[in-house]
Amino acid sequence: MPIENNNEVSLKELREGFYKCRSFEVLNLWRRSFLLSIFQVLCFTLYGVLASRLLAAGPGAADPLAVNEIACAVALVGMSFAVIWIMMAKGSKAWYEVYERYIFEIEREETDGLKIPERYRLGALCRPWEMNSNLFSKKAGRYSPSRLNITIGTVLLTTWFVVLLVHYTASVACYIDGTGSRCQLAILALIPAVFLAIALSALYNKWGRSRSLTETI
């Protein structure tokens, strides 16, 4: 009589475990985005206050050069959080695609497999009752929420880059027209250096790189 091995894990148990991990990752994808959205709201609120100071006229108006430089600093912070947003969304998508790949391979296992019909396996063609990707249609559309989440981060990054460009140009114009101090000149020189540091470190994936994820097959 064969001895039952209690430590043996079946394909069914592995499949259920990977499905739970995938569901957990999808759920936390939007929770992380909500947390980052709080920082974005704070940055936009502070920028709104600075913009109102620039539009204010009269003898008590703020120094436009100083306000523009502060607006550049806020834009750099907003860009940093936008970069983190994109990285967080892409990293989360990578992990639940890892779990999807494991599930897909388990469900395709022929020898001693789960014998799941092909049309019910993960990765099979999905057909809703009705589908229309027109934005003005009330029917389901062919969209990926995870990719749209990444797009949100890209839009935020682009917005803050435009804000930085506008206010840095205004800062340079104010310094040329006025009598800015050496400290303000040093800040003007520091802003592009900080921007390059953020851009290059993000492009070369220096922020929170995963040691487990790999592109090799």
For the entire predicted model, the pTM comes to: 0.81
Q: What is the pLDDT of residues 145-158, one digit of tens each?
A: 888 889 999 999 99
Percentage of the chain beyond pLDDT 70 is 88
Please answer whether residues 36 and 154 qualify as being in contact, where contact means their C-beta atoms are separated by less than 8 angstroms.
Answer: no
pLDDT for residue 7: 62
Question: From residue 115, how far is each of 102, 118, 200 by CA, in Å?
Answer: 16, 9, 49
Q: What is the pLDDT of residues 99-109, one digit of tens each?
A: 888 888 887 77
pLDDT for residue 206: 74
- pLDDT tens across the length of the chain (217 residues): 445 556 677 778 888 888 888 888 888 887 888 889 999 999 999 999 998 888 875 545 678 888 999 999 999 999 999 999 999 888 888 888 888 888 888 877 765 667 777 777 776 667 777 888 888 888 877 778 888 889 999 999 999 999 999 999 999 988 888 767 788 889 899 999 999 999 998 888 777 777 777 765 4
Distance CA 88, CA 94 (A): 10
Q: What is the pLDDT of residues 126-174, one digit of tens each?
A: 777 788 888 888 887 777 888 888 999 999 999 999 999 999 999 998 8
pLDDT for residue 6: 60
pLDDT for residue 27: 81
Distance CA 84, CA 62 (A): 32
Lookup result for tokens 């019910």: 120
